[in-house]
Chains A and B, each alone.
Chain A
């Protein structure tokens, strides 16, 4: 009963049933969706004890599905996040149309992700990878007018990534005649070194796109922002982790075997760090909460990439820890932003303000979320980041750690902006009647928030399975706890003191900024346009959220100006209009077409020898 096949059957079957139900018995739809995702959690949970590998031939290929601890780690994240986001979506999506379409694609995304992590061969990996891609595309374009170009951008980048991956698969097939991952790992060094690096680069591009690695990140902010929020939570929380999952395999299973490993490590680590830094800058200047969180996601994924790239047991541990944690807290943050949107109809931080008393549970979730992100004790984020810094230093990447630290510090700015502008600040009359989000939304949020707290206190909840998962990459033996970390570092500092100190600094800083802001902000309703004879431009909007961040915006303006996004757009547009030269070929004149025919014939005849390479 509990097997991979059942898991796929239930998830994809549930997707189709949900679609059918929508068009027949609407009431059943939600039930099907929830049951499907719950069963998913159950099966994934039970799988390790029950499952045997599944292997069958499909065409020329031996398909292999199997459960290992590494995949299990990600599968659980997918299952749980899927379940929570789906519950969250019940009320959130209630008023929308085309829910059959929505839920079908939602469940297909989940199924696709299961498929990816349980794939033991390249064909099923790619197969499920693409399923995940198109179904998530369908959800990105679910909402509104702008979704069109955003979705397209998302898909085109995904396709570039997927096709890079496919090229690698095809090259492997052509040279090793295999699609099995394990065979690939064993025989990877049989490939010529040129091929090795090609395959590695192609895979890194492939997975990098999904994990929003620079410079392939441009699809992410818009796509995250425009998707329906329950999906955004899953998107950023779990789907982007598929890239991480793959990068882990590429870096640790393939690249590690090649002679280029050091180079690959450094380059990828630096790309990760730059991603983290730049994304943080971008996040700071966002005024839309969802966009802010989107950039934040990109930044966090940058950290994770760094961790994977460094490649020491500790860094891998930290990366996977961060990955799991990010899955949860980013989902929480998006869900809380979604809850705000659900009640106020906006996630614009310049508009929405002062919801702390109206939506306390949502606020709590957001608070827990940002604390985790910031890596401040006592929540789980602290341990993860700490490990990362340590591993980076241990491996001698000192400059890298500075960049990471800078990014991490800057992250505090946008996180603060998020929570302050939405929940703190003045209460608006406009939002006087706002109520807390419905239970189906708050319950999953709060459960997850509490979970981050639990993880902070008992990091072993994550550390142990991660440790097991790392068995996939080799025999890493270590028993980790907070104090042992510090011991390894060589400094016998009392851990609890550090934790308390950092926590205290954080809280004091927050209070200080809050007070400062209250003081410099005039006590008027934020959107009461008092002009004093002058017409305020948007920049002089009186919300402190804008004022406060002006200096930062100015500081990072040069970075923002050189938008990679714009470059891509320019290339795409020019390319597309270049295709118009074909108008001169397809002129619409039948005679001209006939002339082409004769031309073709004449050319073939004259150059027959040349073309067919045969001595006439």
Chain B
């Protein structure tokens, strides 16, 4: 069987179906399955990556030519994001290995695999309705995982998430409906081609529906009320899943749609403004949180605001910076959720005030938290530095000095609340000593992330070399249409 992008979707799906059967033979073996799957996907990613970078792979599911069948589009952007999902997925699995030990853990792994399926599906698909299906797969898996601990708060958070998520799917579905009415097609490239003929009013309203629908999962203010609850009540690795995978895939979907179908500048300005508002509100909220995971959640929203700002610039450096920020945030927030997970576990409380002195007790876990905190603030030599710098530079290139200042102000707020926790970890008197140890697999997961974060911080080119073509792909609509529909160049002339 030759390697093909569909395996990013099919293999974890197959594994999810397989897990219950394996579970009948040996429950412990179940835990290994996602690891094996993700290792295999890394192998696939490594092999496909150069090919996708060189020339996008357009896979026709069931062999129908676009726009009559569903296609997968594996270009540089998808290559980058699937690789990211695979990487994050792997460390999350590693971390979960000893963290998720309560029954029914095989269901956890099934949901986790399905979530991987959903997010890679969102990233790969070249069909708008298919994207909706994968968005829903991701969302439902996320609802279930939020309530996985079956406690009072988890259920509440999941219910809110589901409530808002249902609105999200309604709006997206309405938008898809209108698109089909107007263009008579569902293939993204074909839609992009035909969107030029759609009346502007219709276009705007379709866009509004998409912005609202996808903005919910992309955590745009004021659509993000669900996020702090869900992030903080879900098991820690799941919080990492949200921040590292789910939101990333959704933002990708939003931006792909916006760039492909509505490429006019006022829209992008709108994103810059929404991004700024989202960022500032989230950072202010984060500062006032008493629970560490809620704080991390708001911080995630703030970071997403930053990503949205960069995407909203509508320039190639902006998009690249946004992608870089997405990558870094995925890694760093995962590290933070991982370490916070064990800090909460060791201190026995979700409250920041309970973390006093854990730095002495649990030096490594605390070290990783501090590491993540410094990295997410955007301090060198960690990866977060570069993406923040690139965002600032691209914002300045767009002559939005006010936005530069606002971003930096929010960075100062970030410093305050992150370092407050870090200081607490190290310098307050210790409370009771928790004799339990942070398991090796958890530390290994954090270690891998820390190494990657540091490596990318020292050698940002490794990522940037991938990101440049990825950003170009998102910007270059006509190329996407041409490749996606197998049109010869020259046949195509679109004007927005």
What separation, in Å, do the CA atoms of A413 and B118 have in the docked complex?
Answer: 73
Q: Which residues from A are CB-within-8-Å of B171?
A: 601
Q: B379–A613 contact, CB under 8 A?
A: no
Pick from A134, A147, A612: contact of B266, CB under 8 Å: A612
| Given known A130-B385, A145-B429, contact A605–B228 (CB-CB < 8 A) | no
Binds B, one of A151-159, A252-260, A382-390: A151-159
Pick from A130, A171, A576, A600: contact of B288, CB under 8 Å: A576
Contact with A along B453-467 (1 / 0, CB 8 A): 000000011001000
> Which residues of chain B (341-393) have a CB below 8 Å from chain A?
359-360, 363, 370, 374, 379-381, 385-386, 389-390, 392-393
Q: Which residues from B are CB-within-8-Å of A586?
A: 225, 228, 285
> Which residues of chain B (257-272) have a CB below 8 Å from chain A?
264, 266-267, 269-270
Binds A, one of B11-19, B26-34, B54-62, B418-426: B418-426
What separation, in Å, do the CA atoms of A151 and B415 have in the docked complex?
Answer: 11
Q: B415–A616 contact, CB under 8 A?
A: no
Q: Which residues from B are CB-within-8-Å of A142?
A: 426-427
Q: Which residues from A are CB-within-8-Å of B423?
A: 141, 147-148, 151-152
Q: Which residues from A are CB-within-8-Å of B494?
A: none
Say whether B23 faces chain A, with CB atoms less than 8 Å apart: no
Say whether B401 faces chain A, with CB atoms less than 8 Å apart: yes
Q: B164–A582 contact, CB under 8 A?
A: no
Say whether B492 faces chain A, with CB atoms less than 8 Å apart: no
Say whether A160 faces chain B, with CB atoms less than 8 Å apart: yes
Say whether B399 faces chain A, with CB atoms less than 8 Å apart: yes
Binds A, one of B39-47, B135-143, B205-213, B239-247: B205-213
Provide the main secondary structure of the chain B interface. Answer: helix
Residue in B269, B423, B460 whose Cβ sees the most chain A Cβ within 10 Å: B423
What separation, in Å, do the CA atoms of A155 and B374 have in the docked complex?
Answer: 12
Pick from B168, B215, B287, B404: contact of A579, CB under 8 Å: B287
> Which residues of chain B (396-438) have a CB below 8 Å from chain A?
396-397, 399, 401, 404-405, 408, 411-412, 415-416, 419-420, 422-424, 426-429
Say whether A604 faces chain B, with CB atoms less than 8 Å apart: yes
Nearest Cβ in chain B — how far from A615, in angstroms? 8
Contact with B along A581-614 (1 / 0, CB 8 A): 0110110101111101111110011001001111
Q: A130–B379 contact, CB under 8 A?
A: yes
Q: Which residues from A are CB-within-8-Å of B385?
A: 127, 130
What separation, in Å, do the CA atoms of A127 and B480 have in the docked complex?
Answer: 37
Pick from A130, A160, A616: contact of B200, CB under 8 Å: A616
> Which residues of chain A (514-551) have a CB below 8 Å from chain B?
none
Which chain B residue has the least Cβ–Cβ distance from A580? B288
Q: B412–A160 contact, CB under 8 A?
A: yes
Say whether A58 faces chain B, with CB atoms less than 8 Å apart: yes
Q: B405–A167 contact, CB under 8 A?
A: yes
Contact with A along B160-181 (1 / 0, CB 8 A): 1001100110010000000000
Nearest Cβ in chain B — how far from A59, in angstroms? 5
Q: A604–B287 contact, CB under 8 A?
A: no
| Given known A98-B360, A159-B411, contact A616–B204 (CB-CB < 8 A) | yes
Pick from B163, B201, B229, B415: contact of A594, CB under 8 Å: B163
Pick from A134, A580, A597, A615: contact of B374, CB under 8 Å: A134
| Given known A151-B419, A166-B408, A594-B164, contact A613–B159 (CB-CB < 8 A) | no
Q: A590–B163 contact, CB under 8 A?
A: yes
What separation, in Å, do the CA atoms of A563 and B412 have in the docked complex?
Answer: 23
Q: B380–A614 contact, CB under 8 A?
A: no
What separation, in Å, do the CA atoms of A49 and B201 have in the docked complex?
Answer: 70
What separation, in Å, do the CA atoms of A597 and B374 have in the docked complex?
Answer: 34
Q: A174–B167 contact, CB under 8 A?
A: no
Q: Which residues from A are CB-within-8-Å of B266?
A: 611-614
> Which residues of chain A (137-177) have a CB below 8 Å from chain B?
137-138, 141-145, 147-148, 151-152, 155-156, 159-160, 163, 166-167, 170-171, 173-174
Provide the main secondary structure of the chain A interface. Answer: helix
What separation, in Å, do the CA atoms of A579 and B298 have in the docked complex?
Answer: 13
Number of contact residues on A: which range applies?
35 or more
Q: B392–A170 contact, CB under 8 A?
A: yes
Say whether A429 faces chain B, with CB atoms less than 8 Å apart: no
Which chain A residue has the least Cβ–Cβ distance from B203? A614
Nearest Cβ in chain B — how far from A254, in angstroms? 18
Pick from B208, B215, B359, B411: contact of A163, CB under 8 Å: B411
Contact with B along A160-196 (1 / 0, CB 8 A): 1001001100110110000000000000000000000
Nearest Cβ in chain A — how far from B459, in angstroms? 8
Which chain A residue has the least Cβ–Cβ distance from B211? A604
Say whether A561 faces chain B, with CB atoms less than 8 Å apart: no
Pick from A101, A144, A148, A159: contact of B420, CB under 8 Å: A148
Q: Which residues from A are CB-within-8-Å of B196?
A: none
Q: A170–B226 contact, CB under 8 A?
A: no
| Given known A576-B287, A585-B222, contact A137–B204 (CB-CB < 8 A) | no
Q: A145–B212 contact, CB under 8 A?
A: no
> What 6 pairs between A and B have smallest CB-CB spacing?
A593-B225, A590-B160, A174-B396, A613-B266, A163-B408, A148-B423
Name B's A-contacting residues (CB within 8 A): 159-160, 163-164, 167-168, 171, 200-201, 204-205, 207-209, 211-212, 215-216, 222-223, 225-226, 228-229, 264, 266-267, 269-270, 281, 284-285, 287-288, 317, 359-360, 363, 370, 374, 379-381, 385-386, 389-390, 392-393, 395-397, 399, 401, 404-405, 408, 411-412, 415-416, 419-420, 422-424, 426-429, 460-461, 464
Name A's B-contacting residues (CB within 8 A): 23, 57-60, 97-98, 101, 123, 126-128, 130-131, 133-134, 137-138, 141-145, 147-148, 151-152, 155-156, 159-160, 163, 166-167, 170-171, 173-174, 576, 579-580, 582-583, 585-586, 588, 590-594, 596-601, 604-605, 608, 611-616
